[in-house]
Structure 1
Amino acid sequence: MSGRAPYGLVAVTCAVLMVVLGLLVSGKGLSGPDALADEWVRSTFGEDLLRLLVLPTEAYVLIPVAVLTATLCLLGRRKPEVALTIAGPLVAILANTWVLKPLFGRWKNTWLAYPSGHTVALVAVLTVLVLLARPGVAKAVIAVVGAVALGGVTIGMIGLGYHYLTDVVGGTLFAIAVVCATWTLLTWAARRRAPVPSDG
């Protein structure tokens, strides 16, 4: 896949938006949009459906998807893609857990909530799939299915009291930023290692 698309710009933009949103909600509970989303979800959806909707964020769903993707890339001798599949989600999850959540200090009940770790894990894997898919129908289908899954997960996490809406938005922005930044670095490194064609 081409690394010439402006993934670096996407990464920077998403990271800046995530930081701005984090500063706005840092140390706070419900914001206005959070309250509206919480009220709508709790009055519309039942608990059984909510628990079904959050399933895509579970490790036993995401890890097999990531492993299968990495295996297919490995079989195709696509080393940068293998590295992206592993490093992108892993870096995003670890940085979110150990750096961002303590930094922003937003609590939901007894746990740090911003950015949403569930969302970071899901969106990081989905972003990898979109980046690695061939342009055309496959990429469009993955993007649409991913957007629908994220919408369902958002409803589920709000309804079950796991996160606020803004936690999900922040997690989405951060996951996209990390994966796009990782892909930019990997494609840059691959071009640096590529042999220069001889003029002779």
Structure 2
Amino acid sequence: MNGREPYGLIAVTCAVIMVVLGMLVSGEGLSGPDAVADSWVRRTFGADHDLLNLLVLPTEAYVLIPVALLAAGLCLLSHHRLEAIVTVAGPLIAILANTWVLKPLFDRWKNTWLAYPSGHTVALVAVLTVLVLLARPGVATAVIAMVGAVVLGSVTIGMIGLGYHYLTDVVGGTLFAIATVLATGTLLRWWAARRRAPAPSDG
């Protein structure tokens, strides 16, 4: 996270798309894309709950928390305190804001729970976004991004098959997680730069 990338612009773009999508599906059930995805998953994977539960495993707290803490610890060992803060604060802010603000605001239900944006997705993608940001630019970033995309795709299949979420819930959660982590990093870098800036001379 060197500050040269347009993280702020990407964050705003993702947030705007997430809000627009949320307005389109607010208070509704299946949309067109949701119906197509739901039909394909059920036709392809049937009711194999053992496989579907395995696919959603990366969204569990006992998987994500150790990964985030390990990444934060490595940042601290490398004397990258700002990155360590983003590693913890970004996902935490995303999860809390999604649970307490966005889900009640959009009021979209799946069975008996609020569904948009997907909390499982927010937690997973927030941690994956942090890992991509922490990776060395180049091959490492590309590899982590590709692995993350495969994991997210598998998780999406699992959540749809188990009836946890619609496809659009996952898309909204992905957009919000990326926006929150990038915005958190951008604001913290701005704050750190302000602290390092020399005070103006009175003379």
- Give the TM bin, normalised by the shorter chain: over 0.9
* 1:66 aligns with one of 61, 65, 68: 68
The answer to whether residue 169 in structure 2 is matched with residue 167 in structure 1 is yes
TM-score, structure 2 length as denominator?
A: 0.95
**1:113 paired residue number:** 115
Match in the other structure for 1:134: 136
Gaps of at least 5 residues in structure 2 are 199-203
The CA deviation string for residues 82-121 of structure 1, in whole angstroms up to 9 with x for no partner, is 1101100000000000000000000000000000000000
List alignment gaps of at least 5 residues for structure 1: none
What is the Cα deviation at residue 192 of structure 1? 1.7
Partner of residue 192 from structure 1, selected from 191, 194, 198: 194
Residue 29 of structure 2 corresponds to residue 29 of structure 1: yes
Q: Distance in 1 between matches of 2:6 and 2:192?
A: 16
Q: State the alpha-carbon separation in 2 of the partners of residues 151 and 73 from structure 1.
A: 28
User: Distance between the aligned counterparts of 2:4 and 2:122, measured in 1?
Assistant: 25
C-alpha offsets along residues 135-174 of structure 1, whole Å, 9 cap, x if unaligned? 0111111100000000000000000000000000000000
Between the two proteins, the alignment pairs up a number of residues equal to 196
Is 1:143 matched with 2:145?
Answer: yes
| Matched AA of 1:57 | T
Identity of aligned residues (%): 80
Tell me the TM-score normalized by structure 1.
0.96
Aligned to 2:41: 41
Name the structure 1 match of 2:99. Answer: 97
Residue 149 of structure 2 aligns to a residue whose secondary structure is: helix
In structure 2, distance between residues paired with 1:132 and 1:2: 10
Determine whether 1:2 maps to 2:10. no
Give the letter for the 1:30 counterpart.
Answer: L
In structure 2, what is the equivalent of residue 16 of structure 1? Answer: 16
CA RMSD of aligned residues (A): 0.8
